[in-house]
Amino acid sequence: MPLTHAILGFLEYQPMTGYDLKKYFDQSVTHFWSATQSHIYKALENLEKEGLVESEIIPQEGKPNRKQYQITAAGRAELRRWVTTPLPLDIPREAWLIQIFFAHGITNEEIAHLFEKRIEDIRTYLTKCRIAQAHIDENYKQVGIERLRELWQLTLDYGTDYYEHEIEWLEKTLTRVRKLPALELPKGS
């Protein structure tokens, strides 16, 4: 399961609390994998039951105690097993394409609006990717391991290339959308 393995990967860097993990998710992999605080804590609970992580309570003066997790030898072995195992192809589920597939009952301009809005949303997302670039550079300064920076960069490049290509396709296809045959309802409508 990618969430648990991402947690193991982060804990391989250093021991962290659930709060720290959420921060790392938000600053490093959010452009392709998101996690809620509750999902992280539930996964940590399961990982601890499985012996893949262990926790330690760290007392704090004037604040609640911190529960910090670290990866175990079994956790490292599981992470290694997972990262070396090819995963099956995930076919994306694109709800907006279902809209387009069944858009025969709306006008070309209404369909074009869906395309234009998608382009706008993707451009907003790509702006977030530029922020993720700053986090990669910032995190690299902390760890100083070039190999890690390059692997982080590969994942960001995948996302930006993917969505830049989608914008190209949307803009090219928008011309076709505007020239679709006139609206004609199916028989029996």
The string of pLDDT tens digits covering residues 143-171 is: 788 898 899 899 989 989 999 999 999 99
Span of 14-18, 138-142, 172-176 with lowest mean pLDDT: 138-142
pLDDT at residue number 39: 95
Euclidean distance between CA atoms 55 and 58, whole angstroms: 10
Average pLDDT in the 105-132 region?
93
Instruction: Return all residues near 182 (Cβ < 8 A) that are at least 6 apart.
Output: none
DSSP per-residue string spanning the chain: -HHHHHHHHHHHHS-EEHHHHHHHIIIIITTT----HHHHHHHHHHHHHTTSEEEEEE--TTSPPEEEEEE-HHHHHHHHHHHTSPPPPPPP--HHHHHHHTGGGS-HHHHHHHHHHHHHHHHHHHHHHHHHHHHHHHHHHHH--HHHHHHHHHHHHHHHHHHHHHHHHHHHHHHHHHTPPPP-PPTT-
pLDDT level of residue 185 (50, 70, 90 thresholds): low
Average pLDDT in the 105-120 region?
96
Rounded to 5 degrees, what are φ and ψ at 59?
-65, 145
Report whether pLDDT(28) > 70: yes
Q: Which two tokens stand for residue 46?
A: 């399961």
pLDDT higher at 118 or 33:
118
Span of 59-68, 69-78, 137-146, 159-168 with lowest mean pLDDT: 137-146
| Percentage of the chain modeled with pLDDT above 70 | 97
Place of tokens 């760890």: 143
Instruction: Choose among 90, 58, 53: nearest CA to 73.
Output: 53
